[in-house]
Structure 1
Amino acid sequence: MISGQIVRPGAVLRGHLHLDGPLIGEIIEDDRVGDDIIVPGFVDLHCHGGGGHTFTEGDPDDARAAAAFHLAHGTTTMLASLVSSPFDLMRDATAAYLPLVRAGVLAGVHFEGPYLSAARCGAQNPEFLRDPSVEELSALVKLGEGTVRMVTVAPELPGALDAIAFLRDHGVIAAVGHTDASYADVLAGVAAGATVGTHLFNGMRPPHHREPGPVIGLLSSIAVCELIADNIHLHPGMLAFAAKTAGPGRAALITDAMDATGMPDGRYDLGGQEVIVADRVARLARNGSIAGSTLTMDEALRNAVAAGIPLPDAVAMATATPAKVLGLADRGEITTGKRADLVVLDPELRVRRVLRAGTEIPPTIG
């Protein structure tokens, strides 16, 4: 039994939570419980690594260690995000991560590139950027047997709408990101089947009142908008604005974390490019572009609440909404019969305990 303030859809209930093996069992109200806060396990749609380990090189041992680092911070479901790469690396990573997906270590692979705008590539390696290829995607989807779960595409590129439609038709999430697209281009991408906006605002043409561009296009659409809540990629006021505009059902907190997360300041690598981390901020050595984050999902939740987002909404943005994006109806909410992926937080929203499918994860956070 776990007792405390149970964050359920749209509400906080004081009481006891019983487990039924790997599932959530009975929930009993009781005002006499303590101040621990119980939330569903976090679901991260966009993460490149952590704890000194990376997803970007296709190494399964490194990937397993990165997932374990984030699991200790409450992320019980995550995609392994790669950056723009040669096709051979994309293929090899898909094959290498397939067993991890089947074992439940990862929920799948996210290819953030290489089908991105050169003008908005950010920390992506411009050497590997290219136009969308249905041929490449077809080979990866076939090889992965469900491993490939999301691909970010700039919808203005030649062949992009065909690629998005292909992904939609094969059960892969198409995301709009790293784009210099017009408002109309973005709406065309959504109409073709895109359902996610990759780290809204970042790697996108800024909004303008005479050409709204991708940010307003995504906020105005049905797409779920990813938000990096590290107070670096987004000012807290912009985070709160975007969350309120999209609503908790269409806003998802992500980390965009790299291997430097949880590690000392220093020099790191991202997709073959040197990254310098100083005071938690990761930037490319060659031009100073922000290069991912050093964020964990528990910190993202704290930052979202500090920005003024109500706790139940912030929790939904870190759990239920991204779970729905992935089509995982068995998790993301504290409801009887759902998988017992749970995080117990103290009143300051810091992790005390993590359970995945009812099994407690040994604490590793210092």
Structure 2
Amino acid sequence: MKRLAGQILTPQGFVAGAIEFADDGRIARIAGTPMELQAVRDSTEPLVLPGFIDLHVHGGGGRDIMEGRDAAARVAELHARHGTTALLATTMTAPAADLETAFAALKPVCAGRGARAARVLGVHLEGPYINGGKLGAQPDFARPVDAAELKRLHAMAPIRLITLAPEIPGNMEAIESLVAAGHRVQLGHTLGSYEDGVDALARGARGFTHLFNAMTGLHHREPGMVGAALAHAQYAEVIPDLLHAHAGAIRVALRAIPCLYCVTDSTAASGMPDGEYRLGRHKVTKCLGGVRLADGTLAGSTLTMDQALRNLVEVLGLDLADASRRVSTHAADYIGATDRGRLVAGAWADAVVLDRDLNLMDVYVEGASIELAQ
């Protein structure tokens, strides 16, 4: 039985002790002495946190999910090296044939896991059921919800999360049936009003895609989709690269949305040098720490989840336990993966080992080290 020692973050707080991993990849037991937060800060022992969970991943390591073939497997390896132990492969707005190519390649990746890769839990379908007037960096193939298309794609690879614009005719009415079919629905790439957002939440939508970005903003007489999220949401995703949203805006969301969680919205440029990369049918350029279309529009990010954690702690001032929840536990709970995103007996043995500067020392996915040194 494998054993991992350090200062371990459990749901009850930090303990100085060890985790034992069972042969089936789950946590057998955690034993240790409770620690005060100040003692954790003062110690030189490694920190052991739940593995990161990223529900919005388009690419990484030079590969794009929409390519098909072995792209998703390579993307899962890149993000595992940055502490992500589970993720949703995220598709782009695209013609049906392009989506089917991506989904056909995702089926075996969702069914199995590479030795040094994150677990791909399923698909985040970001579009095509969005508003063509709020594409952001999405290609212009937006269309209303198509039940037959969804059924066909879901049979190829499991769709866990769907982003849609509720104001598009037919989309609002589709939310209840999508939720009943087991999909999590969230709102994004939308010109919808505050009232549209509230109505969609009442019908079963649960979250918001990259909060603040590609949605109607907050105005005191027209609160917009951002206002609906801040006033009513339990969950929303945000990109904490400090380019997509100002630190002050993220602080507002942290105060308003109890289970705000972080995503990378990462692209093929993640983990790669400056240059030109693919994002769906778009060519994008990485430079100055960001990824943009030719017209300057932000087009996903180069963020990784280990940097997201550091930004939460070092820039936004969150304590480590709160920051950890926002890069793992809340996302797991949001999609119903309650055996991930926490270090407890019976959960999957997904963990990151960090030094005092929050740099990764090791990553365990389902009890197996991915061996960062290789």
The TM-score by the shorter chain falls in which range? over 0.9
Counterpart residue number, 1:122? 136
For residues 7 and 243 of structure 1, the distance between their equivalents in structure 2, rounded to whole angstroms, comes to: 21
Q: Does 1:134 align with 2:147?
A: yes
Matches within 5 A, 1:235-314: 235-247=246-258, 250-285=259-294, 287-306=295-314, 307-314=316-323
Q: Does 1:153 align with 2:180?
A: no
SS of the counterpart of 1:308?
A: coil
SS of the counterpart of 2:56?
A: coil
Counterpart residue number, 2:61? 51
SS of the counterpart of 1:106?
A: strand
Deviation of residue 54 (structure 1)?
1.3
Structure 1 stretch 42-51 or stretch 89-98: which is displaced more? 89-98
For residues 331 and 149 of structure 1, the distance between their equivalents in structure 2, rounded to whole angstroms, comes to: 15
Identity of aligned residues (%): 39
Q: Does 1:228 align with 2:239?
A: yes
Counterpart residue number, 1:113? 127
- What letter corresponds to residue 162 of structure 2 in structure 1? V
Cα 1:188–1:340 change in 2 (3 A) is: same
- What letter corresponds to residue 50 of structure 2 in structure 1? P
Matches within 5 A, 1:1-366: 1-9=3-11, 11-21=13-23, 22-24=25-27, 25-29=29-33, 34-59=44-69, 61-104=70-113, 105-126=119-140, 128-144=141-157, 147-247=158-258, 250-285=259-294, 287-306=295-314, 307-363=316-372
Q: What 5-or-longer segments of structure 2 have no aligned partner?
A: 114-118
Deviation of residue 223 (structure 1)?
4.3
CA contact (8 A) 1:133 1:159 kept: no
SS of the counterpart of 2:292?
A: strand
Q: What 5-or-longer segments of structure 1 have no aligned partner?
A: none
For residues 154 and 281 of structure 2, the distance between their equivalents in structure 1, rounded to whole angstroms, comes to: 25
CA contact (8 A) 2:14 2:34 kept: no
- What letter corresponds to residue 195 of structure 2 in structure 1? A
SS of the counterpart of 1:64?
A: helix
For residues 108 and 98 of structure 1, the distance between their equivalents in structure 2, rounded to whole angstroms, comes to: 9
Aligned residues: 358
For residues 15 and 219 of structure 1, the distance between their equivalents in structure 2, rounded to whole angstroms, comes to: 39
Q: Deviations over 1:100-144 (max 9, x none)?
A: 111144110111111111222110112x11222223223223443
Deviation of residue 300 (structure 1)?
0.5
SS of the counterpart of 1:14?
A: strand
Deviation of residue 89 (structure 1)?
1.8
Note the aligned Cα RMSD (angstroms): 1.7
Deviation of residue 10 (structure 1)?
5.8
For residues 93 and 118 of structure 1, the distance between their equivalents in structure 2, rounded to whole angstroms, comes to: 22
